[in-house]
Structure 1
Amino acid sequence: MKWLGLAALCGCSLAVQAGLTAVERTLQASVDAIEPQYLALLERVVNINSGTHNHAGVKAVADEFVPAFEALGFTTQWHDGSAFNRAGHLLARRGKQGPKILLIGHLDTVFAPQDKFQRWQPLADGRVKGPGITDMKGGNVVMLMALHALQDAGVLDQLQIQVVLTGDEEARGEPIELAVAPLLAAGDWADVALGFEDGDSDPATAVIARRGSASWRLEVSGKPAHSSQVFREDVGFGAVYEMARVLNAFRTELSDQPLLTYNPGFVLAGTDVEETAASRGRAFGKANVIAATALVEGDLRAISPASQTAAWARMQAIASASLPHTKSVFTYQERYPPMAPTPGNEALLALYSQASEDLGHGVVVAVDPRRAGAADISFVAGRVAMALDGLGLMGEGGHTPDEIANMATLRSQSQRAALLMYRLSQRQNSANAH
């Protein structure tokens, strides 16, 4: 059974007294004091290439984090990823009482070893450029600073914590069932999940909902013939007109669904079509020949499992109503499940926002789901009572050579996360007392 303290969080007792207690002021001061040592850690891990397919680099980043977790009393474990063709995941665990909190981060980046963008680069305005500095090595450091502050305040023992730092968030391993197994197990254990991605990189927002990520494929066949015979009753419309019919029907018939997008990103069509590699291919055709084959690959983003299921059904029905002498075969593969908005997530955001206000960092509101892509927390959001993401280091330019961190948010984000976790422990204590 998930944590019964959710009832208190969702009810009238959500409001907390403004200002900080003595313990909470200690949390705040600790983050200030420990910042220099964690800045040094962040610089070290940013300077280690950990592109998803650089398995040695991903493991090397994990090796930098292991002593930091163990110094806080965590037991750590490396979950080898050879079974799913990735480096693996770093797992850490601590505590025997209090709310069960899952902390989520990732070790990999989108920057391969041959990329020119490899090093920590301080900028004149106090910001820092670096590969993965916000997505999400900085978020992992925010997590550690918050845990360190809780230990300094003598309250870390009031929490049960599992940490999952995945090594394949940017390019999920296969088979996906093996790649996500440790994350799912931790989600089944936890009451609360906190993700330290950077959300939309705005410290005034956090993530209570993420759209899922799924891929789809449309394979179309038609009857080849001379172009002058197109539309004849015994010839039909050919593969390209059938493909166009399906895509246009997707556009018009699913447009009423909120926050649902479906994008055809790869198209091949002609007399002969050959896929040469993932997302690559060759096509041959002539203007005076009716195309025999068309192929489309795309993705779909939905805000809830129900929305995604309904979209698949409608897309399948559209594809099945083929034009004469054509056939469309529609298939799909779900990748990241949606993180649907829930009352528990909303209550957790309210508690986080109150903590931020009490620390002097301002109100925090929910980010527009269109501005937050899929992330690891999506796999566990439906398994926990409450989930919140976007708690990491903020900045701009993620996934580009201009990835830049606003280093002032290292301290503020760490203080917010520490205070949130402490207040979660106090609410469970209060709920248990009653």
Structure 2
Amino acid sequence: MSALSGEELDLLEAIEHAPILDRTLDWAAINSGTGNLDGLAAMADRLAHAFAALPGEVRLVDPAPVEKVDGKGQLREVGHGRHLVLSVRPEADHRVILTGHMDTVYAREHPFQSCTWLDADTLNGPGTADMKGGLSLMLAGLLAFEQGTPMMGYDVLINSDEETGSLSSAALIAQLAQVKLAALTYEPGLPDGSMARARPGSGNYAAVVTGLSAHAGRNPQDGRNAVLAAGDLGLRLAAGIRDGLTINPARIEGGAPNNTVPDLAILHFNLRPRSPELAEVARALLEAAVAEVSAVHDVHIHLHGHVSRPPKPITPKTEALFGLVSKAAADLGQPMRWQDTGGVCDGNNIAACGVPVLDTMGALGGSIHSPQEFMIASSLDARARLTALVLHRLDRGALHA
């Protein structure tokens, strides 16, 4: 660590592995699946208490209303947990934002609920990498940063709905990201330390197809088969896949008894454009497919959804931020790579506000969103040191000089 100054070494000395790991284990024991409102409330309380150790104001913000198409093709409101916001030195000339999420993909009823050590450094557990370990090390890095003489301000946002697209927190993300110097988001890094570079956009849709019921034996010609139309729509959308644009028809709901022409079907699908131009291509493709299927099958199609996470391109400001972070990592003996990924996260939303963001600052791990999820425990204090050092150098003008 010869490249570190004496002041930097003093900051990093306060970071210890055991407290970060203990918090991670404690938080991973709380089921906070996006739909488990009781679990999210418990997690928010635990986080509010922990982050109160930092200067500034901690508050819990109510989620914005969100509607979802149900199995009957009707819009219904979906409940979400509250979001945690911490604001420190709001009057500072230069401020950054750090973000993470308290929700996981594991529902209250999911069998994956406890942690198991696979070896001395590999912890298998729900949300350990994605991202309760990241939240814990973020806090440790901020506490170390505050041991110096910081002048830079920051906001911390920990939302409750990232795993389902951040629909109830998108406006809050945009509000807090405004005029920030930079952003750090605590999605997990890959086991070798690699970080995510460019990301595609993402949109989740539900196409509600309304046909006309009829007897499947006596007069099927009088019916308008909604399931058939939904299947045709899915095939037409899949035919639009091209380089830089993926479309995934994922599920068809609805239908009717075997002796009835079904008059309702709901096609759920996801699309991911790599650029704003491809997002426009996708929009035109959707409009054309819906019009064609509606005409061919004589059905009505209502499309619900939008690209909620814009594509995240790499800008010169993003390159500069990665340069700062990769230099800090190298000075700590943590060399890293930067590679494009097909996943999306709140970093997409922040980048859309014109703020450079590095969105894999969390613990190293893998197999996320599965019962094989694992976290590399030694990365907790390593990444906490990286957080503290990056914040310190941002505070000293490394990015805005």
Deviation at 1:136, TM superposition (A): 0.9
- Does residue 99 (structure 1) correspond to residue 94 (structure 2)? The answer is yes
Task: Tell me the residue number matched to 2:159.
Answer: 166
Task: Tell me the residue number matched to 1:124.
Answer: 119
Deviation at 1:122, TM superposition (A): 2.9
Aligned residue type for 1:24 = E
How many aligned residue pairs are there? 385
Q: 1:200 to 1:261 in 2, by over 3 A?
A: farther
Aligned residue type for 2:195 = T
Give me the whole-angstrom Cα distance separating, in 2, the residues matched to 1:369 and 1:70.
34
SS in 2 for 1:158: coil
SS in 2 for 1:263: strand
Give me the whole-angstrom Cα distance separating, in 1, the residues matched to 2:184 and 2:284.
33
Aligned residue type for 2:24 = L
Task: Tell me the residue number matched to 1:333.
Answer: 305
Give me the whole-angstrom Cα distance separating, in 2, the residues matched to 1:248 and 1:114.
33
Give me the whole-angstrom Cα distance separating, in 2, the residues matched to 1:67 and 1:296.
42
Give me the whole-angstrom Cα distance separating, in 2, the residues matched to 1:162 and 1:248.
44
- Does residue 140 (structure 1) correspond to residue 135 (structure 2)? The answer is yes
Task: Tell me the residue number matched to 1:9.
Answer: none
Give me the whole-angstrom Cα distance separating, in 2, the residues matched to 1:192 and 1:82.
25
- Does residue 380 (structure 1) correspond to residue 350 (structure 2)? The answer is yes
- 1:256 corresponds, among 238, 242, 245, to 242
Q: How does 1:29-428 map to 2 (within 5 A)?
A: 29-31=13-15, 34-81=16-63, 85-95=79-89, 96-152=91-147, 154-155=148-149, 157-171=150-164, 176=167, 179-200=169-190, 202-217=192-207, 219=209, 221=211, 246-252=233-239, 254-258=240-244, 260-267=245-252, 280-285=253-258, 295-322=266-293, 326-327=298-299, 329=301, 331-334=303-306, 336-343=308-315, 344-366=317-339, 368-370=340-342, 372=343, 374-427=344-397
Give me the whole-angstrom Cα distance separating, in 1, the residues matched to 2:28 and 2:118.
15
Aligned residue type for 2:3 = G
SS in 1 for 2:59: strand
Identity of aligned residues (%): 26
Aligned residue type for 1:383 = C
Aligned residue type for 1:159 = M
Q: Any idea what the Cα deviations from partners look like across 1:323-375, whole Å, max 9, x if unmatched? A: 65635636241253124213122322222112211211113213x322x2x32
Unmatched 5+ residue regions in structure 2? Answer: 67-78
Task: Tell me the residue number matched to 2:72.
Answer: none
Point out the structure with max Rg over C-alpha: 1
Deviation at 1:384, TM superposition (A): 3.5
SS in 2 for 1:203: coil
> TM-score, with normalisation over the residues of structure 2?
0.83
Give me the whole-angstrom Cα distance separating, in 2, the residues matched to 1:300 and 1:238.
25
Give me the whole-angstrom Cα distance separating, in 2, the residues matched to 1:218 and 1:78.
35
Give me the whole-angstrom Cα distance separating, in 2, the residues matched to 1:430 and 1:192.
10
Unmatched 5+ residue regions in structure 1? Answer: 1-17, 268-279
CA contact (8 A) 1:98 1:428 kept: no
Q: Any idea what the Cα deviations from partners look like across 1:58-113, whole Å, max 9, x if unmatched? A: 22222223333222213211123496622201110112435311111111222233
CA contact (8 A) 1:212 1:378 kept: no
Deviation at 1:395, TM superposition (A): 1.3
Give me the whole-angstrom Cα distance separating, in 2, the residues matched to 1:281 and 1:395.
38
Task: Tell me the residue number matched to 1:273.
Answer: none
Give me the whole-angstrom Cα distance separating, in 2, the residues matched to 1:330 and 1:261.
22
Deviation at 1:266, TM superposition (A): 1.9
Q: 1:202 to 1:338 in 2, by over 3 A?
A: farther
CA contact (8 A) 1:223 1:326 kept: no
Aligned residue type for 2:135 = N
SS in 2 for 1:380: helix
Deviation at 1:56, TM superposition (A): 2.9
Q: Which has the higher helix share?
A: 1
Aligned residue type for 1:21 = S
Q: 1:241 to 1:147 in 2, by over 3 A?
A: closer
Deviation at 1:402, TM superposition (A): 2.3
Give me the whole-angstrom Cα distance separating, in 1, the residues matched to 2:92 and 2:366.
38
Q: Any idea what the Cα deviations from partners look like across 1:389-416, whole Å, max 9, x if unmatched? A: 0111121222222222111111222222
> TM-score, with normalisation over the residues of structure 1?
0.77
Q: 1:169 to 1:255 in 2, by over 3 A?
A: closer
Q: 1:49 to 1:292 in 2, by over 3 A?
A: closer
Give me the whole-angstrom Cα distance separating, in 2, the residues matched to 1:61 and 1:236.
50
Q: Any idea what the Cα deviations from partners look like across 1:121-150, whole Å, max 9, x if unmatched? A: 333332222221111111101211111221
Give me the whole-angstrom Cα distance separating, in 2, the residues matched to 1:404 and 1:413.
16
Aligned residue type for 2:246 = T
Deviation at 1:300, TM superposition (A): 1.1
Give me the whole-angstrom Cα distance separating, in 2, the residues matched to 1:69 and 1:427.
25
